[in-house]
Structure 1
C-alpha cells in the first residue's frame, strides 16, 4: 500500500515539475482599430481605437491563457435622440454620435495551430470610464470575445476579433433610430465591437 502511495506521489511530483518546465510568461502590448455600434439602433458604426497590455501564459506549445487590460473607445454614430422642446411645445429629434469609453478586463484562451495561426476566445468585464449618454441602463458591461490571429516568430501578431456585449446599455425610449424598418429595431441595445490590430509579445528568459 505504501509503495502505491509512493509511486502516486512521485508521479504527481514529476507531472508538476514537467508542467512548470513548459510554462512560460510573455508580457506584451496590443492596439489597433475599434469599429463599434449598438445593436437594434439603426445607427452607424463608430471608428476609433483601442490599446492595452497583456500577459501570455503559455501552458503548452499549443495553448496559452492571456489576461488582458485594454482601453477601448466604443459607441455608435448617427443615433437619433428624441426630446421635448418646451420652447416650441413640440417633440424634436436630434442626431448625435454616442461615445462610450471602457476599460476592458479580459481572459482570452489562445490556441495555436500550424505555423502561427491562432483561435482566440474568452470573456470580458468592461468598466465604463466615460460617456456622453443622457440616459443609461448599465454603466458596465459583460462581453464575450471570439477571433482569429496570426503570430510571427518575432513575437509580432495580427488579429481580428468580435466582442459582443450582453447588457442593455441605454434607454431606447430616449435614443432611437426607427426610420428604417427593414431590419430589427428593439429595446435590447447591446455593444458590438470589432477590433482589428496588432500585438507584440516580449521575449523573456
Structure 2
C-alpha cells in the first residue's frame, strides 16, 4: 500500500469514528391532524388524523435521518360524479366522500437551524389498507414529503408537512365533473395531504 492510499484509509477511519461518536438513536411517536384532497377533482378537503412511530438517527448536531411508519387517513370530500340515468333519461350528479387509508413508510432527512427550527424532506411509500372507491387506478402510492418543524424541547416537536403523491389513484372515467376533463391534467388525480401535529422522542440510546 503506497503512502497516498494509506493516508486515505487513515482519514476515512477517523471520519467514520467521528460519525459513530456523534450518532445517536431516539425512538418516538408522532400524530396529529390530516387535511387531504385529490387533485383536479375540485372537491373539498377531508379532515382526519394520522398516527405513527419513528426512529431518529442523529448523524451530526445539525442532521438526522428518520425512518417512519405512519397510519394516515386521506381522501377527499364532496367528490362529484356525473352520470347518465338510463331510467330517467337525464344527466345526474352525485357527490361522495372518498376515504383512502394508507400505511406510509417514509425516510425523512432532518436539518436543524438556529434555535430548534427544522427543515424536513424525503420520499414515502404509501401502502393501501382500505378505501371506499368504486373505481381506482392505483392501490399504492409514491409520494414526496416536505415540511418545517420547531423543537419545543429536546423531546417535543411541532411539525407541519405537505405530502404530495405522484401516482394517478383515481379513475376519472367514473369520478369526474364538467370542470376537470377539459385540460391536460384533468385525468391525473393525485393525493395531496397536509399534516399538522406533534412528535415526541424518548430517552436517547447511544
TM-score norm. by structure 1 comes to 0.91
User: 2:64 maps to which residue?
Assistant: 64
Q: Any conservation in 1 of the 2:103–2:127 contact (CA below 8 Å)? A: yes
Cα distance in 2 for residues equivalent to 1:144 and 1:4: 41
Describe the superposition over 1:168-199 as per-residue Cα deviations: whole angstroms up to 9, x where unpaired.
11111211233699x99711100000000000
Q: Secondary structure at the match of 1:68?
A: strand
User: 1:166 maps to which residue?
Assistant: 166
Q: Any conservation in 1 of the 2:180–2:186 contact (CA below 8 Å)? A: no
The total of aligned residue pairs comes to: 204
Q: Any conservation in 2 of the 1:100–1:132 contact (CA below 8 Å)? A: yes
Q: Secondary structure at the match of 1:112?
A: strand
Q: Any conservation in 2 of the 1:146–1:161 contact (CA below 8 Å)? A: yes
RMSD of the TM alignment (CA)? 2.2
Q: CA deviation at 1:68?
A: 0.5
- 2:126 is the alignment partner of 1:126: yes
Contiguous gaps of at least 5 residues in structure 2? none
User: 2:188 maps to which residue?
Assistant: 188
User: 1:141 maps to which residue?
Assistant: 141
Q: CA deviation at 1:93?
A: 2.0
Instruction: Classify 1:180/1:130 alpha carbon distance in 2 versus 1 (closer, same or farther; 3 Å).
Output: closer
Q: Secondary structure at the match of 1:10?
A: helix
Q: CA deviation at 1:16?
A: 1.5
Q: CA deviation at 1:15?
A: 2.0
Q: Any conservation in 2 of the 1:137–1:168 contact (CA below 8 Å)? A: yes
Cα distance in 1 for residues equivalent to 2:91 and 2:145: 39
Q: Any conservation in 2 of the 1:123–1:145 contact (CA below 8 Å)? A: yes
Q: CA deviation at 1:23?
A: 0.5
Q: Secondary structure at the match of 1:37?
A: strand
Cα distance in 2 for residues equivalent to 1:184 and 1:150: 39
User: 2:21 maps to which residue?
Assistant: 21
Contiguous gaps of at least 5 residues in structure 1? none
User: 2:197 maps to which residue?
Assistant: 197
Q: CA deviation at 1:91?
A: 4.0
Instruction: Classify 1:3/1:172 alpha carbon distance in 2 versus 1 (closer, same or farther; 3 Å).
Output: closer
Cα distance in 1 for residues equivalent to 2:89 and 2:139: 32
